[in-house]
Amino acid sequence: MSSRYVPPALVVGGLAVLALLLVAGCGPAGRSDQAGPAEPAVVALPGAEPAGATQTSEGGQVTIAVTWEGPSAGLVFRVAMDTHSVNLDPYDLRELAVLRTDQGVEVRPSQWDAPPGGHHRAGTLAFPATASDGKPVLGPGARSVTLIIRDVGGVPERTFQWTW
């Protein structure tokens, strides 16, 4: 069996490239690790429902992606939280989220169905169809909803808005 000489600089350089590739794969490009107000994500679809419109908010080392199938699907949102530095299990979105319409109606979630996942957590966030006064949340004339999620990953407030 013959052995080949590999210069130490080549070995070190190869390990450095491998380490960079591994680190780059652990988070989104351009991620900011500083907590701060997240910019509202807005999807405007005049005359159509925002079917399957997914919006993403990055901040405080946590990425949250929210998908809503539109008014005909009810007030049910798919939420995925992802990080490589924070345990996401303690975050109860029933306590941290609120839904607001352009008509001024505001409701808290009736359900947060997400199994524990540590650094990766996904589930369903559902809101009641009627407000506490008995009126429909998506009443006549409603044209947008805003989902607000507070205090996840040190970000005071993240907003996701759908307009139809």
Distances, alpha carbon 24 to alpha carbons 11, 68, 84, in Å: 20, 29, 12
Q: Is the pLDDT of residue 158 over 70?
A: yes
Token couple for 124: 């369903």
pLDDT tens digits, residue range 138-151? Answer: 999 999 999 999 99
> For the residues of the chain, what is the DSSP string, one character each?
-------HHHHHHHHHHHHHHHHHTTS-TT---S--PPPPEEEE-TTS--TTEEEEEEETTEEEEEEE--GGG-SEEEEEEEESSS--TT--HHHHEEEEETTS-EE--SEEE----TTEEEEEEE--SB-TTS-BTT-TT--EEEEEEEEETTEEEEEEEEE-
pLDDT at position 113 is: 96
Does 30 or 65 have the greater pLDDT score? 65
Assign 29 a pLDDT band (cuts: 50, 70, 90): very low
Domains within the chain, CATH numbers bracketed: 41-163 (2.60.40)
Cβ atoms of 122 and 79 closer than 8 Å: yes
pTM above 0.85, yes or no: no
Assign 4 a pLDDT band (cuts: 50, 70, 90): low
How large is the average pLDDT for residues 62-82?
96
